[in-house]
Amino acid sequence: MYDFKGKTALVTGASRGIGRAVAVALSRGGAKVALNYAGNEAAAQEALALCRQAGAEDSRLYRFDVSDSAACAAAVDQVVAEMGGLHILVNNAGIALDQLVMRVKDEDWQRQLDVNLSGAFHLIRAVTRPMMKARGGSIVNLTSVVGEMGNAGQAAYAATKAGLIGLTKSVARELASRNVRVNAVAPGFIDTDMTAALPQAAKDKMSEAIPLGRLGSAADVAAAVAWLSSDESSYVTGEVLRVNGGMYM
């Protein structure tokens, strides 16, 4: 557990899966957590309750679409005003609309760009001012193993995740002089709601491609995000931390 007392974190896509696990991990360390969600009110309320149980009694929900630039800017201003600053940003919100490249619709390509890549950009741009003013902060972007190795049927999704890596490294160089660190975490195959629906045979085949022989958990990813968000990683910026069981090295 890391010490986040006195710090406020904004986690996008925090209602379930990796985002929820990250929010809870930061809560255990004493952070006040602003949980973003797009529309699933019931799941968001469950995540909020878990954060409060973990010790973050002042955590709050913020509903907005990360693809909306103005909404992102307004949400950051609101978090800073209501929660006393913003010290950690975790860009986790993302969607995957898988399809072979020859069948990808224009609107599906654009939607993935808008949420996965532009969404992170909107929030990074919005948090730079309060973080630079405070002369410190940590931004963690959730990319993916497919952003580095590619995957058939995920050309659009992989392109957005590869773009996140370039965004991470460029902004890390821009903000380093103000002690704002920017890193990425690249999960591999993670056991979440999306993979839970897969047949066991499909999961077994996925595990065969992983040297550690199992799918990762949301907690595995959250632990990496928590470390990069903490002062324990104060000399780490511009990095991509792979949490994939060795499937891509």
Pairwise CA distance, residues 146 & 216, whole Å: 15
Q: Return the sign of the alpha-carbon dihedral for residues 196, 199, 203, 204.
A: positive
Under a CB-based contact definition with an 8 Å cutoff, are residues 189 and 215 in contact?
Answer: yes
- Provide φ and ψ at 59, rounded to 5°: -70, 155
The upper half-sphere exposure of residue 101, i.e. CA atoms within 13 Å in the direction of its Cβ, equals 7
Q: Cβ-count burial of 207 within 10 angstroms (0-12 exposed, 13-18 middle, 19+ buried)?
A: middle
- Provide φ and ψ at 35, rounded to 5°: -100, 115
Does residue 235 carry a catalytic annotation? no
Which is the catalytic residue, given 2, 37, 62, 157? Answer: 157
Under a CB-based contact definition with an 8 Å cutoff, are residues 11 and 26 in contact?
Answer: yes
Which amino acid type is present at position 79?
V
- Supply the residues annotated as catalytic: 157
